[in-house]
């Protein structure tokens, strides 16, 4: 996937200011940067939950939210967007499960309604995924009867049920109690080790970022200020802004 000169504004607030970066297939990329700098916005743009104000977002070299027709920058019809968006899955900080549905219903909802899988097929896959995230026993529970860590594991299973090629993870452990953070990270580590899903993650868990990602991007003031492998980024960053930021985060 590629961001090419992407601009995003909220009113006068320029959040992405001609942002350029790309993620190759199978890459595991961690995005770091200060609070309010626009990390979530980047992921939401990829999910088409936000509209950009300029530039292109491409997957496999093909723009999928907007494109230039001659000089004109126009929105791509929903039908074409959806095809691409279905290749992208996202797990949110606040889980965002459907509270009135059971665990199983949450997971089969999109495979049945969006991918048009048969219910039986969707259930078989959901059960496999529940096993993988250690949640088989809660299959028929309503999601509001689950702890935060359990909800997040269901949210991960739900994202995987769409067989995404790209998985976006937005601070997926930051709403969790410290003692269950390790469980959720363990589930993600296993996904990283056993699949070739491209991952773009926002996290403050630097140790985790170091273990699973092969590249780290430091983002600030609407642009990428530094890019390095995790070892270099966390032990020997180049830019003053990165040094400052990591000092603050690691001291936390």
Ligand X SMILES: Nc1ncnc2c1ncn2[C@@H]1O[C@H](COP(=O)(O)OP(=O)(O)OP(=O)(O)O)[C@@H](O)[C@H]1O
Site for Mg ion, rule CB under 5 A:
40
- 99 sits near ligand X (criterion: CB under 6 A): no
With CB under 6 A as the contact rule, which of the stretches 31-39, 147-155, 182-190, 231-239 interacts with ligand X? 31-39
Contacted entry of Mg ion, ligand X, none for residue 98, CB cut-off 5 to 8 Å set by kind: none
Q: Does 65 bind ligand X (CB under 6 A)?
A: no
| Binding residue for ligand X, selected from 6, 23, 29, 40, defined by CB under 6 A | 40
Q: Residue 68 binds which entry of Mg ion, ligand X, none, with Cβ cut-offs from 5 to 8 Å by kind? A: none
Cα Rg of the chain (Å, integer): 18
Pick one of Mg ion, ligand X, none as the site partner of residue 203 (Cβ within 5 to 8 A by kind). none
> Which SS3 state, helix, strand or coil, does residue 116 take?
coil
Q: Taking CB under 6 A as the rule, does residue 37 contact ligand X?
A: yes
Q: Which residues contact 50 (CB under 8 A, 6 or more apart)?
A: 8, 41, 44
Among 1, 19, 38, 220, binds ligand X (CB under 6 A): 38
Put residue 80 in one of left, alpha, beta given phi > 0 → left and psi -120 to 50 → alpha: alpha
Contact status: 222 vs ligand X (CB under 6 A): no
Q: Kindly state the smallest distance separating residue 220's Cβ from ligand X, in Å.
A: 10
Nearer to ligand X, 161 or 181 (CB): 181
Residues 6+ apart with CB under 8 A from 124: none
Distance in angstroms (rounded) separating the CA atoms of residues 167 and 201: 8
10 binds, among Mg ion, ligand X, none (CB under 5 to 8 A by kind): ligand X
The two three-digit tokens of residue 36, written as one number = 């309010």
* Residue 44 vs 125, nearer CB to ligand X: 44
- The answer to whether residue 41 forms part of the interface with ligand X (CB under 6 A) is yes
Whole-number Å distance between alpha carbons of 67 and 75:
7
Q: Helix H segments across the chain?
A: 39-46, 78-85, 103-113, 119-132, 148-160, 178-194, 206-212, 230-235, 240-251
Write the Ramachandran bin of 55: left for phi over 0, alpha for psi from -120 to 50, otherwise beta: left
Inter-residue contact 156 to 190 (CB < 8 Å): no
Q: According to CB under 6 A, which residues from 3 to 22 bind ligand X?
A: 10, 13, 15
In the bound state with ligand X, the residue whose beta carbon lies nearer, of 39 and 215, is 39
Which residues bind to ligand X, rule: CB under 6 A? Answer: 10, 13, 15, 35-41
């Amino acid at each position: 996937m590629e961001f090419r000169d992407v601009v995003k504004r909220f009113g006068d607030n320029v959040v992405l200011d001609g942002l350029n970066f790309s993620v190759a297939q199978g890459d595991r990329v961690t995005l770091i940067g200060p609070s309010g700098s626009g990390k979530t916005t980047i992921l939401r743009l990829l999910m088409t939950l936000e509209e950009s104000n300029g530039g292109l977002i491409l997957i496999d070299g093909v723009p999928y939210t907007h494109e230039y027709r001659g000089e004109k920058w126009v929105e791509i019809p929903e039908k074409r967007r959806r095809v691409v968006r279905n290749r992208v899955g996202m797990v949110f900080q606040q889980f965002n499960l459907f509270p009135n549905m059971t665990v199983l219903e949450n997971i089969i909802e999109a495979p049945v309604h969006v991918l048009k899988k048969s219910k039986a097929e969707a259930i078989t896959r959901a059960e496999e995924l529940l096993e993988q995230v250690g949640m088989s026993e809660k299959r028929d529970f309503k999601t509001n009867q689950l702890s935060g860590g359990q909800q997040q594991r269901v949210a991960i299973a739900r994202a995987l049920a769409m067989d995404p090629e790209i998985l976006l993870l937005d601070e997926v452990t930051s709403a969790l109690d410290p003692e269950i953070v390790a469980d959720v990270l363990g589930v993600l580590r296993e996904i990283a080790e056993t699949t070739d899903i491209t991952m773009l993650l926002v996290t403050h868990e630097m140790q985790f970022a170091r273990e699973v990602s092969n590249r780290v991007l430091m983002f600030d003031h609407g642009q990428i200020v530094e890019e390095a492998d995790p070892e270099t980024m966390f032990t020997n960053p180049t830019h003053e802004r990165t040094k400052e930021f990591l000092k603050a985060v690691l001291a936390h």
